């Protein structure tokens, strides 16, 4: 059986799914978490079974080799040649890569030069591409699918910053967003779920998780998004500060006697929900502490307020909104956060049905029948979206 393997590598994790080539049926899946730490875990899911193994300091290359060995040990593939293509999620393609791209030695070198646009993500994703190129047969296509490609046709008024225009052009400085693969998938899934033409929808999608972003789409295309030049901009996230005054960077460099690189690292890895609360980057831990820990309460309120502000601004920008869709780890599983964000949108006529929100299962409408804006919860599937792009390239 010929298969497509999809790799979704993050700064400390690697999610994967294996799809049957002809109809894109998902065969097996898994995740490697807390990579290169003593707590690293390898999870394998197949035929309703789940196996989890702790492997201290698991590297990306060791993880990929273990994945291939596990697929063979379970007779899912007979040899690595049964994988006829690999799709890789890559965060930043800048304006250099405008569509899913077959990786060659030449454009792999070009891709490496774009690390600066997503320094926590692109280097790891490029490493995974190189790893699969080493361990699979030479002729196996490696195809990069870019989060940034979804946002390249956003209006100039929402894509550009107030910089000298020549700087924006020369250095490719503009909003690239993140989670574009997820937002594009949810845009079309929302239209399919509601049985409406995607070109007739004014939609706001919330991809909320360790990294969070909000996108407004109209007429089937994105018109604005919360993340910016890098994934640092937008909501305060698990460990990322979100939007802030640019002058804070040189100010902290002086006050903390640190380099720009050190400060940017602090804004990416020690800030956001973790930095404000002082206890955790995990929203579950934050919610458990909001009644006893003032800093946890502050972190939660900052997250909720920021989300509502983006939604409100996009509502005005599009001249109204038909649907709001929640997705990703927090968006799909955290009914309390969904309800608290929507409570701030009551001025727009948003009304949440408590029973649908709390007790429903699977994809569903969670707003009341008379809510001015329909509110949905739909699971995202970036890996399936990538697999569709890969199949189209073969």
Q: Is 147 a catalytic residue?
A: yes
Asked if residue 112 belongs to a known ligand binding site, the reply is no
Q: Is 207 helix (H, G, I), strand (E, B) or coil?
A: strand
**Which burial class, exposed, middle or buried, applies to 347 when counting CB atoms under 10 A from its CB (0-12, 13-18, 19+)?**
exposed
Q: 211: annotated binding-site residue?
A: yes
CA-to-CA dists, residue 163 to 31, 209, 249, 300, angstroms: 40, 31, 17, 32
**Residue 15 labeled ligand binder:** yes
Q: Does the annotation list 89 as a binding residue? A: yes
386 assigned binding-site residue = no
282 annotated as belonging to a binding site for a ligand: yes
For CA atoms 76, 79, 82, 87, the dihedral sign is: positive
The position carrying tokens 């989060």 is 147
Q: How many CB atoms lie within 10 A of CB 1?
A: 11
Is residue 63 a known part of a binding site?
no
Strands (E), the chain: 3-9, 14-20, 26-33, 41-46, 49-54, 83-90, 101-102, 142-146, 202-207, 213-218, 221-225, 323-327, 364-365, 374-377
> Catalytic: which of 62, 147, 224, 353?
147
361 is in an annotated binding site: no
Q: Is 329 annotated as a binding residue?
A: yes
30 labelled ligand-binding: no
Q: 207 a known binding residue?
A: yes
- Catalytic positions: 147
Which positions make up the binding site for ATP? Answer: 15, 207-211, 282-284, 329-333
Which positions make up the binding site for Mg(2+)? Answer: 8, 382
Which positions make up the binding site for substrate? Answer: 89
């Amino acid at each position: 059986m010929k298969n497509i393997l999809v790799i979704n590598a993050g700064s400390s994790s690697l999610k994967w799914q294996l799809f049957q080539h002809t109809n894109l049926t998902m065969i097996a899946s898994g995740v490697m978490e807390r990579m290169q730490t003593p707590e690293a875990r390898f999870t394998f899911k197949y035929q309703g079974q789940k196996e989890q193994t702790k492997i201290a300091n698991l590297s990306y290359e060791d993880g990929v080799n273990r994945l291939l060995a596990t697929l063979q040990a379970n007779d899912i593939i007979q040899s690595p040649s049964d994988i006829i293509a690999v799709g890789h999620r890559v965060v930043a393609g800048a304006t250099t890569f405008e569509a899913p791209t077959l990786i060659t030695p030449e454009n792999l070198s070009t891709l490496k030069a774009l690390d600066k646009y997503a320094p926590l993500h692109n280097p790891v994703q490029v490493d995974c591409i190189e790893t699969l190129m080493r361990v699979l047969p030479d002729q196996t296509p490696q195809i990069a699918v870019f989060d940034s490609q979804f946002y390249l046709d956003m209006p100039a008024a929402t894509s550009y910053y107030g910089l000298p225009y020549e700087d924006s052009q020369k250095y490719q400085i503009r909003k690239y967003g993140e989670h574009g693969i997820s937002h594009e998938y949810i845009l079309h899934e929302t239209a399919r779920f509601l049985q409406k033409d995607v070109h007739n929808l004014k939609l706001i999608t919330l991809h909320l998780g360790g990294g969070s972003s909000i996108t407004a789409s109209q007429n089937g295309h994105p018109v604005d998004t919360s993340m910016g030049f890098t994934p640092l901009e937008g909501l305060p996230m698990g460990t990322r500060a979100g939007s802030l005054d640019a002058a804070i960077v040189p100010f902290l460099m002086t006050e903390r006697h640190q380099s720009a690189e050190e400060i940017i690292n602090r804004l990416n890895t020690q800030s956001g929900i973790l930095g404000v609360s002082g206890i955790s980057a995990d929203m579950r831990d934050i919610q458990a502490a909001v009644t006893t820990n003032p800093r946890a309460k502050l972190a939660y309120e900052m997250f909720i307020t920021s989300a509502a502000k983006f939604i409100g601004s996009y509502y005005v920008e599009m001249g109204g909104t038909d649907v709001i869709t929640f997705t990703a780890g927090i968006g799909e599983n955290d009914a309390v956060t969904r309800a608290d964000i929507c409570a701030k949108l009551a001025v727009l006529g948003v009304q949440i049905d408590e029973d649908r929100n709390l007790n429903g299962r699977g994809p569903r409408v969670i707003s009341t029948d008379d809510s001015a804006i329909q509110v949905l919860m739909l699971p995202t599937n970036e890996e399936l979206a990538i697999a569709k792009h890969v199949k189209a390239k073969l």
